[in-house]
Amino acid sequence: MSESSMPELPKAYEPHDVERKWYKYWLERGYFTPHRDPAKVPFVIIQPPPNITGDLHLGHALTATIEDIMTRWHRMRGEPTLWLPGEDHAGIAAQVVVERLLAKEGLTRHQIGREAFLARVWQWVGETRDNIANQHRRLGVSCDWTRERFTLDAGPSRAVRTAFVRLYNKGLIYRGERIINWCPRCATALSDLEVEHQNVPSNLWHIKYPVVGEDGYYVIVATTRPETMLGDTAVAVNPSDERYGGIIGKSLMLPIVGSVIPVVADEAVAVDFGTGAVKVTPAHDPTDFEIGLRHKLPIINILNPDGTIGESGGKYQGQERFAARQAIVAELEQMGLLERIEPHTHAVGHCQRCRTVVEPMASLQWFVKIAPLAAPAISAVKDGRIRIVPERFTKVYLNWMENIRDWCISRQLWWGHRIPVWYCACGEMVVAVDDPKICPRCGGSELCQDPDVLDTWFSSGLWPHSTLGWPDDTEDLRYFYPTTIMETAYDILFFWVARMIMMGIEDTGEIPFRFVYLHGLIRDERGEKMSKTKGNVLDPLVLMDRYGTDALRFAVLWGTSPGNDSKLGDTKLEAGRNFANKLYNAARFVLRYATQDRGQRLEKVALTLEDRWILSRLARVNTSVTALMEEFEFGEALRQMHDFLWGEFCDWYIELTKGRLQSGAEPSPLPVLVHVLEQSLRLLHPYMPFVTEELWQSLKTATGQQSMADSIMISHYPVADESLHDDDAERVMDGLVEIVRAVRNTRAEYDVASERMIEIQIYAGVMTDSFQPYVAAIESLAKAKVAVLATHRRETSSRALALVLKAAEVVIPMASLFDLAAETARLEKEIAEAMWEQARLEAHLGDETFLARAPEAVVVKEKERLAMAMDKQARLKEHLQRLGE
């Protein structure tokens, strides 16, 4: 292909067709599906399955980007790489959404019944699942779609039942009446984690409970929830509290209700809070429940499932709980039993899904006895078999695990994994993986399955092994488990990560993954959490339409560090788009010259200094980026590739090759241009897969390198060639850059018209020979005619600027622009700076302790600096003197 026949490429990168084209290409060739190679250790990530409750958001985009980077990177390193995708049925969250859809039709789930409701959810899931998978594909995820799983698929569902039955048989799952969190709107129990506490300003109501048989005597209790007095069955005081010593064992009259309740002594009561006497409502408070157990108090539940007062509430029955609270306070006041109202702010629990205030309530539920599961999960992290990154989350994890409490796993919902327990009229309870046909005790066939479903996180906890085939002993499970990395946002460390570790170890005897990598949350430009209600949600699809997928992937990582939250707005997306475009245009430049007959192999060509420089820089960046990726420092790795490609390859190397390419000088820079670009594209491919594939394929075509792989994604990730490190070339290039910058700077300061060439003289001492071949390059880059390039300064007009640099002196005769006073002032200022520097260094080097304690290398460096400062000063003084002649 000759230069003239190259198709004209548009000036700006257009991502959309490129994205579609290459994703299809990769998918069709099966590059996402790994081969199990027994000789190699696989790299495995199980994708955190997104909820099927709607669209992907930026958090998913970040997760997908980071996981895709790791996946593509390891795949390019030749490891059998599995990234397994899936979706989560999202129990309560999904049910809430479909209930809302029904509500729009004026229906409730109870009106249409369980079966019809579930059919509705499945129908809706069919749509959203495809939607989510397509959005993921759009992000370029290289996950293995042939192994895609849904939490309610047959396999994972059987895993759920198996895990349940095993835990039950070991006595680690039990059914019992305990205080749970009840959401009146969702009408279900919640785990402790699903309750979000919020400080709410409220009151501490002080209520008088009359002492039976002692007219005019009261015990005053303080409460934040006066309505719960309907379920009081005692008043408790601390046994050591002298104020109440005499009243323990006496009876009180419970106002409004009219029942008689005892005063009991219990250590759980704090002497210094409220009045020191606490009303005990065993059905609606965890502490009270415990006190109730110790003192054998009755448990009176005062609430209906919907949050209204129940039948035990007497005349308040049917009232909404907060209305009842007001009414009860009013009645107490009327009775003269309200001592006082003290403003009091306290934490109130809200349902994570619907924000409704939850009620602690005694209820018959299923629980996981968690301590025996937590112990091995704690040691796995403590002994380093599982490493959490960033490390600080280890402490958070351990602290939670060491104080963990039993996990309520039953939900009074319809959508989810039905609890595998059946009840027979004879009283027998059957816990089984497969639906039992008959009762093993009485032989009856009238078995009723428990109506409840499991907490959605129960199935999530099994995800790493259930997706790979557990409980069966499958090839995948044997080869890919334990997995390598669990990558997710830090906000589900307890919900999900901790439970996977517990359940994984419990079910398989092995840890589920070796690393936990936790990334931060993405906030909007003002730092606020994105939410639909705030209307500040950025839709990844819209952003990809506007800027391209690579730009979005760039944006979510740009300027981030592990575990820290980040903000995202147009600025970063523009930076990503601009970078993709810059790369595209750099490649467009190379492609103009890259032709098949000129694509020599690098090792056979002669190299110039700038060639050696860029190759040296590439090798260093390669080493650095690889090290950063090992440590999950993706933001910093991306920054280094960006700076190298833009600030060194484009700004200097490409500029330096222009003269050589246009003049046809030998050696041609093309092999190096092609090599550096090609290697850089591979380095960057995990981050920006589409633009790199597009450009890589163009390069492959243009250079006719048939030996290259079919796709950049299955090419080898570059290994830095340290033999290319070249300190000498880097030093000379630094000098060259310094000269060009200094001249450009002077031109700008003196307002020299951009088209005007100026004349300069360069005195480079021992580096003269090094710079000699670059006269033409300097002339072109600095717009200056180099008149002299010599070892020693020659006599010139005194009406000249003198730029005293590290590697050279540049003299610029500027007769018409020269201003003696200004130039004198400038030199004097520079001399003053050099003297100040000299004084500082001399003081430092005169410090005995510094010389004795600082490492040799630091001392040597300081000495070099001092020599340089003194040399510079001398040269500046010389110039100043000549100005006066």
> Within positions 626 to 665, which residues make up the interface with RNA, using CB under 7 A?
633, 635-636, 639, 642-643, 646, 650-651, 654-655, 658
**Interaction with RNA in 471-510: which residues (CB under 7 A)?**
491, 494
- What is the rounded CA–CA span in Å between residue 747 and residue 745? 5
Instruction: Name which of 34 and 276 has its Cβ closer to RNA.
Output: 276
Instruction: Output 94 or 568, the one with its CB closest to RNA.
Output: 568
* Contact characters 809-848, RNA, x per CB under 7 A: -------------------------------x------x-
C-alpha torsion 440→446→449→450, nearest 10: -100
CA distance 799 to 750: 14
Nearer to RNA, 272 or 473 (CB): 272
Q: Does 287 bind RNA (CB under 7 A)?
A: yes
Report the residue number, 142 or 657, with the smaller CB distance to RNA: 657
| Interactions with RNA, residue window 242-271 (CB under 7 A) | 268-270
**Whole-number minimum distance, CB 866 to RNA, in Å?**
11
Pick one of 131, 394, 561, 701: the residue that binds RNA (CB under 7 A): 561
How far from the centroid of its chain's Cα atoms is residue 157's Cα? 29
The two structure tokens encoding residue 675: 């090599």
849 sits near RNA (criterion: CB under 7 A): yes
Whichever of 112 and 845 has its CB closer to RNA, that residue is 845
In the block, residue with structure tokens 């790199």: 692
- Looking only at residues 131 through 160 of this chain, which bind RNA when binding is defined by CB under 7 A? none
Give me the least distance between CB of 81 and RNA, in Å please.
Answer: 27
Q: In this complex, which beta carbon is closest to RNA, that of residue 399 or of residue 791?
A: 399
Encoded tokens for 468:
């790979």
User: Which residues inside 67-126 make contact with RNA, applying CB under 7 A?
Assistant: none
Per DSSP (E only), the strands in 703-856 are 758-763, 784-790, 800-804, 809-813
Residue 614 found at the interface with RNA (CB under 7 A): no
Segment 721 to 740, residues that bind RNA, using CB under 7 A? none
Among 122, 273, 322, 836, binds RNA (CB under 7 A): 273
Binding string, 193-232, against RNA, x = CB under 7 A? Answer: x--xx-x----------------------xxxx-------
Binder of RNA out of 853, 867, 871, 881 (CB under 7 A): 853
Matching residue, tokens 């930076």: 575
Q: Which CB atom, from 408 or from 447, has the smaller least distance to RNA?
A: 408
Residue whose CB is less far from RNA, 33 or 624:
624
CA–CA gap between residue 674 and residue 589 (Å, rounded): 11
CA-closest candidate to residue 817, choices 799, 829, 805, 804: 799
* Beta strand extents in 764-880 (DSSP E only): 784-790, 800-804, 809-813
Element (H, E) at 149: strand 149-150
- Closest to 16 in 3D by CA, of 575, 541, 702: 541
Distance of alpha carbon 684 from its chain centroid, rounded?
Answer: 20
Q: Are 225 and 325 in contact (CB under 8 A)?
A: yes
Give the strands of the sheet with 251-253, arranged side by side. Answer: 251-253, 260-265, 234-237, 277-280
> Does residue 741 bind RNA (CB under 7 A)?
yes
- What is the closest distance, in whole angstroms, from the C-beta atom of residue 632 to RNA in the complex? 11
The pair phi, psi for residue 80, each rounded to 5°, is -65, 115
- Of 8, 17, 242, 272, the one binding RNA (CB under 7 A) is 272
Binding residue for RNA, selected from 192, 339, 450, 878, defined by CB under 7 A: 192
Q: How many residues does the chain have?
A: 885
Closest separation in Å from C-beta 563 to RNA: 8
DSSP string, 183-243: ETTTTEEE-GGGEEEEEEEEEEEEEEEEBTTSTT-EEEEEES-GGGGGG--EEEE-TT-GG
Interface with RNA, residue 855, by CB under 7 A:
yes
List the one residue from 560, 622, 680, 697 that touches RNA (CB under 7 A): 560
425 binds RNA (CB under 7 A): no
For RNA, the closer of residues 159 and 522 by Cβ is 522
* Residue 525: CB minimum distance to RNA, A: 7
The alpha-carbon radius of gyration of the chain (Å, integer) is 37
The DSSP element (H or E) to which 68 belongs, if any, is helix 58-76
Contact with RNA (CB under 7 A): which of 399, 445, 596, 772? 399
Kindly list the distances between the CA atom of residue 884 and the CA atoms of 541, 761, 794, in Å, as whole numbers in the listed order.
68, 20, 17
Smallest distance from the beta carbon of 518 to RNA, in angstroms? 11
Integer Cα distance of 60 and 82 in angstroms: 19
Report CA-CA distances (Å) from 550 to 524, 583, 628. Answer: 20, 12, 20
Under rule CB under 7 A, residue 403 binds RNA? yes
Binding part of the chain for RNA, among 20-28, 122-130, 371-379, 854-862 by CB under 7 A, reads 854-862
- What minimum distance in Å lies between the beta carbon of 199 and RNA? 7
Q: Are 646 and 654 in contact (CB under 8 A)?
A: no
Sole binder of RNA in the list 567, 725, 793, 799 (CB under 7 A): 567
User: To the nearest 5 percent, what fractions of the chain are helix, strand and coil?
Assistant: 50, 20, 35
Residue with tokens 């995990």: 686
Q: Does 316 bind RNA (CB under 7 A)?
A: no
Helix axes 634-643, 670-684, angle to 10 degrees: 160
What is the distance between the alpha carbons of residues 530 and 813, in angstroms, rounded to a whole number?
60
Distance separating alpha carbons of residues 401 and 397, to the nearest angstrom:
6
Shorter beta-carbon distance to RNA: residue 51 or 560:
560
Of positions 89, 149, 553, 572, contacts RNA by CB under 7 A: 572
Nearer to RNA, 275 or 600 (CB): 275
Please, which residue, 286 or 704, has the CB nearer to RNA? 286
Judged by CB under 7 A, the chain residues 507 through 526 that form the site for RNA are 525
Instruction: Characterize 339-363 residue by residue with b for buried, 16 or more Cβ atoms within 10 angstroms of its Cβ, and e for exposed.
Output: beeeeeeeebbbbbbbeebbbbbbb
List 100, 601, 861, 863, residue binding RNA (CB under 7 A): 861
Q: What are phi and psi of 812, to 5 degrees?
A: -120, 105
* Of the candidate residues 13, 83, 397, 763, the single one contacting RNA (CB under 7 A): 13
CB 423 within 8 A of CB 448: yes
Residue closer to RNA (CB basis): 566 or 697: 566
Dist CA 673 CA 658 (whole Å): 11
Q: Which is nearer to RNA, 727 or 795 (CB)?
A: 727
Q: Which is nearer to RNA, 20 or 861 (CB)?
A: 861
Letters for 319-348 (x = contact with RNA by CB under 7 A, - = none) are ---------------------------xx-
* Residue with Cβ nearer RNA (487 or 636): 636
State which of residues 531, 564, 791, 797 lies at the interface with RNA (CB under 7 A): 564
User: Which two three-digit tokens encode residue 736?
Assistant: 């060259």
- Residue 240 is a binding residue for RNA (CB under 7 A): no
Which 577-596 positions form the footprint of RNA (CB under 7 A)?
Answer: 577-578, 580-582, 585-586, 588-589, 592
**Smallest gap from residue 193 Cβ to RNA (A):** 6
